[in-house]
Every structure is written in C-alpha cells, then in structure tokens.
C-alpha cells in the first residue's frame, strides 16, 4: 500500500462509531475532516489529545470541520471514555484494524521488552473535496490540536 501523502485522494474506508453509526469517506463530504488515530482509550497522552480536540471543537465547527477519533478499542471502551471525558465527537471502534491499515498507521512497537503491533499516533486532515490536505505522523500531543486548527484556518 502506498503511503498517503498531501494531495492523495482519501481511500475508501468504513468504521462503526460508539453509537453504532457507520462513518465512511463520503459521510462528511464537503467538510474538513480531522481523522486522528490514537493508541488507546484512557491513557494519559490519548486523554489529553481527546480533551484538546474537545476543548477546541466549537472552533473546528466554526471552520466547517468535524473531528473523528480512531483506535483499536471496542465500542464499550469508547463509550466509557466519551462519558468520562465528556467527548461529543465520534470515535471509531477499529477492533479489526481495517481503518488503521487503510491509513497505514499500524506499526511494530516495543513496551516492557515485548513487541506488538499498535497504532502510531497520527492525524490526517481531509479537505472538503476528499483529498489529503495535511498529514501528521508520530504526533506529539502538546499543541497538536491547535496546529491542526491553524492548518484549516490557513487553508480557508
């Protein structure tokens, strides 16, 4: 699979949200889409990242943008995470890693001497016409949501 780069057409994908709704490439056609991938619900970095996007949600909405989070956690985990953190944007429960693989964010990781596959924190900004407008890989959480918002504002 070719790596998605700026200007690439967004590949077809489909994922189910915590509320049981399907999100596809066409769901938010005509809007900016912030599709962000994170390793795991209720971990420090992932919680901070979600809180940052939630805090800025009104500004994203003002910029005609939607936020969609994706992790390999199941719908029940996402529901608890959303309730605990007050998240109102959709999270895709990508338990089979289908969306994660389409966007090529599954990487070999090591923790406590064990090797496993997991999500590399990444964000894809999809333009209203369905093109990849910006890509952030190996995301560092502090300031990231602000940087994504600034990118949208600069493009408008």
- Residues tagged active-site: 46
Structural contact between residues 46 and 71, judged by C-beta atoms closer than 8 angstroms: yes
* CA end-to-end span of the chain: 31
CA distance 49 to 31: 22
Q: Which residues, 6+ apart, have CB-to-CB distance to 27 below 8 Å?
A: none
**Containing H/E element for 94?**
none
Strands 91-93, 65-71: pairing is: parallel
């Amino acid at each position: 699979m070719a790596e998605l780069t700026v200007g690439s057409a967004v590949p077809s994908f489909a994922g189910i949200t915590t509320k049981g709704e399907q999100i596809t490439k066409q769901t938010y056609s005509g809007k900016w889409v912030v599709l962000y991938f994170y390793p795991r619900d209720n971990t420090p970095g992932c919680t901070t990242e979600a809180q940052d996007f939630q805090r800025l949600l009104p500004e994203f909405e003002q910029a005609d943008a939607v936020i969609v989070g994706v992790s390999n956690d199941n719908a029940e985990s996402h529901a608890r995470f959303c309730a605990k953190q007050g998240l109102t944007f959709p999270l895709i429960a990508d338990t089979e890693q289908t969306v994660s693989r389409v966007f090529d964010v599954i990487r070999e990781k090591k923790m406590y001497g064990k090797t496993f596959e997991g999500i590399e924190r990444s964000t894809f900004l999809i333009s209203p016409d369905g093109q990849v407008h910006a890509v952030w890989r190996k995301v560092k959480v502090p300031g990231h949501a602000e940087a994504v918002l600034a990118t949208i504002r600069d493009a408008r």
